[in-house]
Structure 1
Amino acid sequence: MEAAISTLITEFKKYAGKDGSSSTLSKDEFQSLVSSQLSHFVKNASDPGTIDQLMGSLDENNDGELTFTEFWQLIGKVACQQGCFSQ
């Protein structure tokens, strides 16, 4: 599990550093990350409307960017769905 957590942190930082703050994901960075890293787990991952809806549901402070903590919610939801755990 330690390797999985390290990978999640590394990938978040890789995408977050592309434009603006290196500690948050912009909409474009988030779409790029989801499309390339979670396309099998997020239905319609390349659809801008899907990304808008998903980002809106995760962006707790409505600042248009996702912190790692906000992003982590998506990882939890995806893991629960894949593991057939109730939410």
Structure 2
Amino acid sequence: MEAAINTIVTQFKVYAGNDESSNTLSKDEFHNLVTSQLPNCVKNASDPGAIDQLMRSIDENNDGELTFSEFWQLIGKLACKQGGFSQ
């Protein structure tokens, strides 16, 4: 499990590091991460409108960027869905 956590953290940092803020994902960075790394886990991953809606739904402070904590909630939801666990 440690390797899985390290991979998630590393990938977040790789995608978040594409602009001036390496601690958050911008809309474009989030879109790139989802389409590249989660195309089979996120419904309609190829639809920019769906990705925007997904981002808004997990952007708790509505600042247009995702912190790792906000992103982590998505990972938890996807893991629950993948594992067949109720939320």
Q: TM-score, normalization: structure 1? A: 0.98
Partner amino acid for 2:58? L
Report matched runs for 1:23-62 at 5 Å. Answer: 23-62=23-62
Structure 2 gap ranges (5+): none
Partner amino acid for 1:24? T
Match of 1:71 in 2: 71
Aligned length: 87
- Show CA shifts across 1:40-73 (max 9, x none): 1001112111111100011000000000000001
**Percent identical residues:** 76
SS in 2 for 1:74: helix
Aligned-pair CA distance for 1:19 = 1.2
Partner amino acid for 1:40? N
Structure 1 gap ranges (5+): none
Compute the RMSD of aligned alpha carbons: 0.5
Match of 1:83 in 2: 83
Q: TM-score, normalization: structure 2? A: 0.98
